[in-house]
Amino acid sequence: MPTFASMAAMRFGYGRRPGETPPQDVDTLIRQVERGVREPSLFPFEGLAERRALFADYGIVEVASREGRAKGTLVMIDGRSVSPYGIALNNALQRDRHLRVQQAVLSPNGFFERLAAFWFDHFAIDARKGATTRILAAVYEAEALRPNLAGKFSTLLAAAVLHPAMLVYLDQVRSVGPNSPVGRKSGRGLNENLARELIELHTMGAGSGYSQTDVRAAAYLLTGLWYRAPAYHTVFRARFAEPGSHDVLGRSYGGADQQMERVHNLLHDLAAREETRRHICRKLVVHFISDDPPQAVVDAMVEAWQRSDGELFAVYRAMLDHPRSFAEEGQKVRQPFDFVVSALRALNVPDTALQPNGTKDKQWQSASDMAALKDVMMMTDEGRPALGTNSLSVGVLERLGQSVWSPSSPAGWAENLSAWVTASQITERIAWTRRLVARFGGDADPRAFLEATLADVARADTIETVSRAPSREIAMTMVLASPEFNRR
């Protein structure tokens, strides 16, 4: 039976990293979350406040690019026009995505980082949907999710759902009340995407008793949500909002005053529902413990949620305190992000090796200085963004099918074993692992590496296989390709 430290590091973190002491008890895991919510993330690469200060400058570049295209004055390379705005956005996103991987690799707060990944997946957006999401994806995680993932669920829900990145991703900015002043004049109508995902994914869960009538009424209530550019702050525009009262799940919202208050009331009520408690707690157990979640663990978390009025700290502790949470190792397959980060940690790969291709060290000037954008407007001689994907981190995640901040749908990434244990997935993992070991394995003793990486999780047959390997590199590759390392 593996020790608590081994199970905690693998099941609730990103595995062992040389020089780090694995968690010894539940309180240690909880303290990781307490530290994590207070610490700034590595992304956005300029810093959160600095990124926001630069929004206006990005807007200037956008206008100049649009005008240049209209006038035919953009630079042409090989018959193709080059947009400075597109170059800037793609370079910025590349820096941010690589820093997202570094954040998970370097942080000593493994449980917090795993929770951050879980909640981004729960409140999923796709950074590649458009220009706005490219510039906002890192901001969304850094300011809406990470600081709020240990408070009340209702606070986290509002921060995520009302963030401009979510409004853009789920097309809420296209939704207009048909009977609003703007709707009657323009003929524009309702978009139900955000309302549907709010109920079906973010709160109650599919098949939990709501109807299409509830979804449509919620969509009416959400009309009026907008964001001001280039500040990217969410506002409520009454002229776009559907007038009147609307009933959602037996409660009436709205009325004469078409204000943001009706949206907050809806979110608060959805967060407080029993269906929401069960849906979220079950998802946490599926993510961390088993595709077939032990009902006793789910029930304990639901009880803690109800008792604490939705305090997520209490929910996490209820999960960690339950003995079933540390039983039956190997119930979950490591998704590609989890696998890649854990391997990079096991080999103690330095942050200098995880930069985007083409990165040059640069001291940033004042955030209000347009010169600060010059670095992200660099391009190659072929007119492409100068920064490319590093095959050790962001590149391999793309090949493995789990691109950073680009989930396959609003439902996030698949959790089940069959989605990630395929012939092509295993082949790619082994190939990448061999390259990683060849570069960073040094002269390490495979047996010592096995002990440091898997400790008492390693099975007897894995230990024997590693000991019989024909070379040191193959032996170390076998450790990272073993079933124990690829499952948790």
Taking a C-beta distance cutoff of 8 angstroms, is the pair 90, 127 a contact?
Answer: no
Q: Is residue 335 within 8 Å of 327, Cβ to Cβ? A: no
DSSP-assigned beta bridge partners for residue 251:
248
pLDDT value at residue 31: 98
Compute the average pLDDT of residues 403-422. 95
Q: What percent of the chain has pLDDT over 90?
A: 85
pLDDT for position 378: 86
Position 257 confidence tier, pLDDT thresholds 50, 70, 90: low
pLDDT over 70, % of the chain: 97
Q: Which two tokens stand for residue 41?
A: 């993330």
pLDDT band at 361 (very low <50, low <70, confident <90, very high): very low
Give me the pLDDT at residue 365, please: 36
* pLDDT of res. 366: 35
pLDDT tens figures, 171-223: 999 999 999 999 999 999 999 999 999 999 999 999 999 999 999 999 999 99
323: cis peptide before it, omega within 30°?
Answer: no
Backbone angles phi, psi at 217, to 5 degrees: -65, -40
Measured distance between the N- and C-terminal CA atoms of the chain, rounded to whole angstroms: 13
Torsion, CA 471, CA 476, CA 481, CA 485, rounded to 10: 150
Q: How far apart are CA 108 and CA 103, in angstroms?
A: 10
SS3 246: strand
Q: Which CA distances in Å does 448 have to 8, 76, 339, 435, 443?
A: 21, 56, 20, 20, 11
Query: DSSP code of 360?
Result: -
pLDDT at 390: 97
Length of the chain: 488
Quickly state the pLDDT bin for 258 (edges 50, 70, 90): low
**Helix 460-467 / helix 472-481 crossing angle, nearest 10 deg:** 160
Alpha helices by DSSP H, listed for 272-352, are: 274-288, 295-308, 312-321, 336-346
pLDDT at 472: 95
Q: Please classify residue 443 by burial: count the beta carbons closer than 10 Å to its beta carbon, then call 0-12 exposed, 13-18 middle and 19+ buried.
A: exposed
Which residue(s) pair with 234 in the sheet?
A: 227
The rounded distance, in Å, linking the Cα atoms of 114 and 135 is: 23
pLDDT score, position 429: 96
User: In the prediction, which pLDDT does 379 show?
Assistant: 86
Residue 180 and residue 427: Cα distance in Å, rounded? 56
- What is this structure's pTM? 0.95
Place of tokens 């073993």: 482
Please report where in the chains the tokens 């691109």 appear, as a residue. 403
Q: Token pair of 182, please?
A: 């703007």
Give the Cα separation of 40 and 142 in Å (integer). 8
Is residue 419 predicted with pLDDT exceeding 90? Answer: yes
**Mean of the pLDDT values across residues 262-267?**
96
Count CB atoms within 10 A of the CB of residue 332. Answer: 21
